Structure 1
Amino acid sequence: MKRILTVFLASVILWSCSQDDENLSLVNENVQPEQEIELVPKEEIDAIIKNALEEKNEFNWSELNDVQLWSALVHSDSILTIGYKAEGEANINERIVSINVKDPSWVDSRTKILDETRSVLERKRQENISEADLPNFSHDVLPFIEMKVYDLEVINRLRSLENVRYVEPLSYEVDFQKYGENERYSDSGCSNEANYSISGLYTTIAPGAKMSWNYPQMGIDQAWNYSTGSGITIGMIDTGLSPDQAKLGSQFNSGYSQNRTVERYGTYQTGSWWWKEYDGPNDKCGHGTSMAGVATAPRSNDGSAVGVAYNANLVGIRGTSDVVVNGGNEKDGVTDALVYLGSRSDVKIISMSIGDVFNNSKVADGIRYAYGRGKLIFAAAGTSTSFTNWYGVIFPANMNETVAVTGVKEGQYQRCNTCHSGSKVDFTVIMEKAGSDAHPLSVAMSGNQPSTVGGSSVATATTAGIAALVWSKNPSWNRDQVLQKLRESSDFYPNRNSQFGYGNLNALTAVQ
């Protein structure tokens, strides 16, 4: 992993080492330099963000003025992410994969950002600032840099530059507890204990595995007569894989699951922004383990839960500490995981049962990079409690480059108790049993006794597994052909439902 990190996971930081209190009282373009500016209270910024989400189901930092953006930066860790482009470039989103940030025109663009920053600080301090005072590191692949910013005037200047695509605070988090929505963060999806009350929720199949109750309703068991996912690699960006779950380790090849590989990496970092250390691939949450189990757990002979694509390969990456990608370290980890998986030619599918309520442009750059490499990217539409009452599809599932998936109740098109829905949804998966609201089976953090897990997260991992079945059956196909086959197998095709997209997938129809 060290070699991979050296190639792909650059620290992308700029830092001015000697800042003082006057840096926190600077000016925007409409104010005289000597006039102090008051911080916008965090509660006011939170309210602006929440109102935007309620009104149009989306928020972007470009909607804030300079003072509001600067205030958000100060209220967090003061790390600013700056997306850039070469001079004369138009919208680069659709071709971000073809950019070489080491080309002179792109290097010049980064240099201009540094020079402009240095110029502002030199004028304010009335002294020369050397490069040593502004050490800078750019991402090896994606066109963004980051810096520790205290000066409002720096933000003013950077946002005015034609070569700057976006300027965003890296780590700002909305305090949703103020709005009575703290349930969303109560455990951040971190639970995956063995469930000993699963009577009636499975069927035992050869050579002794437990098949979840919802598989037959989506034709998954019958699809296995045509494909089991062999030869296809699923990359999963989540909270990692439990080292204690042998079904995702030494017993990944067991029973009817053979001749495949499982790999474990960690791109999530901990520590202060300047002194970060990689935290390894091991799941400390439980969510990533259960999602990997849904998609790829082996069809074993000892009573464990079988995954949808039980002969597919797996690359599990710990890119985040929980399912909500709202911290700076989590955005870093997820972005780096996307670049790594995007760069691997063997990875066909990326499954992301994670996200947040508003967009992050750096992560979006990573999504577009992986998409440009031909990856089929599935993302969870969203799972929450009180948010379900009003919020639609979360980021990055709301991007055009991702396929948004949510869960519904058995026998009806009603979203599962904690699932989001909306016009951005592409597919649905049966997630809650009629009458009991019981959830599907997966592997627990250790042992053979299954756990039960639900929400749009599990729907996403299930869909990634079904896509692997289709791609394995048709190995010469590209992403668009596989996606079209999934659409054609769904309930509502060729129409779309306003809340549930093409509806429930049928794996049997998709592989025939």
Structure 2
Amino acid sequence: MKKINGTIKTKGRFSWKESSDHFVWSAIFQGNHIASIGFGSSFDRNLDSNNKTIEAEILKVIEQYEGKTERILLSSDQYLNQIDVVIEKQETVIALRKMKNIRYLEPADYHYFENERKYGTTAKSSSSSSGCGFESTALNASDYTTVTPNAKAPWSFAKHDIINAWNYSTGAGVTIGVIDSGVSPEQTLLGSSFNNGLSSGRTISKNGVYVDSVWPWSTGYDGSADQCGHGTSMASAMAAPRNNLGQPVGVAYNANLVTYRAASNVVLDGYHEQNGVKIAFTELGNNTSVKIISMSMGHIFFCRKN
């Protein structure tokens, strides 16, 4: 933990690629022995005709150094040159990082905030600084203006000239993909009343690709419903209807939305959250109707999953 925090403090960033074999192995070991490997000349399997051969070579090296052939491969992405594997021995990490066809090898289930609570003194838990909350606050009249038919436009809309921009586009015909913590089923303006007031002829699709489990081998998504509040807030800011209910309007109030619950909160601290984001990005990238993808989540340091 000291090395990660020290590197971030001195360099402003931390990357597993710049860390020693022992340090990477140690983090893998602490993270349920799960590692993520990107391989080939491209992240896209379609651009690497020999991707299966390279993957087989990697797995053979792991089998050789681990001394076993079972329960090594956790997942193999069908679209990306990326696999998740189980590694227990430092010698395996050393051998893999010498392979020319591997682009990166990183811990896939290292929980920074959990380890910081155990061994450090500075960081909060991921949930305590997660951006979650369903609380509502009465708005000061000076912080918004009312626009037809009876919607609130926040002060920031005027500052960024959004209201005037509606003369050119309101988002009609555009589909936005949102990767976040989901959308609350209790928010009708992002449900049955998505077409309300001056918003019409559009759709909202809600998807869930997050596995709510501390065990990497677990499967089964827990649905699209937001249990944090952040995803609902972000979807509302993007495309809440220009409603007649006295509620805030979104920037693109006539745009379609395709939402994904990919994580429990905005801090991607663990295998299932990072994997959920990877799946959401892939599915949205394969959705030809989606023109914009928005994600307001991240991690304290750089991690790859492609």
**Would you say same fold, with TM above 0.5?**
yes
| 1:100 maps to 2:42 | no
Distance 1:211 1:135, change over 3 A: closer
Q: How many residues align structurally?
A: 301
CA RMSD of aligned residues (A): 1.9
Distance 1:57 1:133, change over 3 A: closer
Work out the CA distance in 1 between the residues paired with 2:181 and 2:128.
17
| 1:158 maps to 2:96 | yes
Q: 3-state SS of the aligned residue for 1:277?
A: coil
Residue 345 of structure 1 corresponds to which residue in structure 2?
Answer: 288
- Decide whether the 8 Å contact of 1:101 with 1:143 is kept in 2: no
1:133-189 Cα shifts (integer Å, max 9, x gaps): 645641001111111211111112111111111111112133455343428752410
Residue 225 of structure 2 corresponds to which residue in structure 1?
Answer: 282
Q: 3-state SS of the aligned residue for 1:317?
A: strand
- Decide whether the 8 Å contact of 1:266 with 1:278 is kept in 2: yes
Work out the CA distance in 2 between the residues paired with 1:183 and 1:168.
22
- Given residue 71 of structure 1, which amino acid in structure 2 is its aligned partner? S
Residue 330 of structure 1 corresponds to which residue in structure 2?
Answer: 273
| 1:309 maps to 2:252 | yes
Residue 253 of structure 1 corresponds to which residue in structure 2?
Answer: 195
Residue 9 of structure 2 corresponds to which residue in structure 1?
Answer: 54
**Correspondences of 1:447-466 after superposition (within 5 Å):** none
Distance 1:155 1:183, change over 3 A: closer
- Decide whether the 8 Å contact of 2:37 with 2:82 is kept in 1: yes
Residue 82 of structure 2 corresponds to which residue in structure 1?
Answer: 144
Higher relative contact order (CA 8 A, sep 6+): 2
Residue 134 of structure 2 corresponds to which residue in structure 1?
Answer: 192
Work out the CA distance in 2 between the residues paired with 1:113 and 1:135.
10
Distance 1:340 1:245, change over 3 A: same
Work out the CA distance in 2 between the residues paired with 1:146 and 1:322.
22
Structure 1: runs of 5+ lacking an equivalent: 1-45, 123-128, 366-512
Structure 2: runs of 5+ lacking an equivalent: none
Residue 174 of structure 1 corresponds to which residue in structure 2?
Answer: 112
Q: 3-state SS of the aligned residue for 1:269?
A: coil
| Selected match of 2:237 from 286, 294, 312 | 294
Distance 1:51 1:74, change over 3 A: same
Higher Cα Rg, which structure = 1
Work out the CA distance in 2 between the residues paired with 1:110 and 1:158.
12
**Correspondences of 1:58-457 after superposition (within 5 Å):** 58-85=13-40, 89=41, 92=42, 96-97=43-44, 99-100=45-46, 103=49, 105-122=50-67, 129-130=68-69, 134=72, 137-175=75-113, 176=116, 178-182=120-124, 185-271=127-213, 272-362=215-305, 365=306
Work out the CA distance in 1 between the residues paired with 2:112 and 2:104.
20
Matched-pair identity in %: 39
Q: 3-state SS of the aligned residue for 1:211?
A: strand
1:71-127 Cα shifts (integer Å, max 9, x gaps): 112222211111111xxx4xx3xxx34x32884x110101001111112233xxxxx
If the length of structure 1 is used for normalisation, what is the TM-score? Answer: 0.56
- Given residue 108 of structure 2, which amino acid in structure 1 is its aligned partner? L
If the length of structure 2 is used for normalisation, what is the TM-score? Answer: 0.92
* Cα distance, 1:192 vs structure 2: 2.8
- Decide whether the 8 Å contact of 1:101 with 1:107 is kept in 2: no
* Cα distance, 1:196 vs structure 2: 2.4
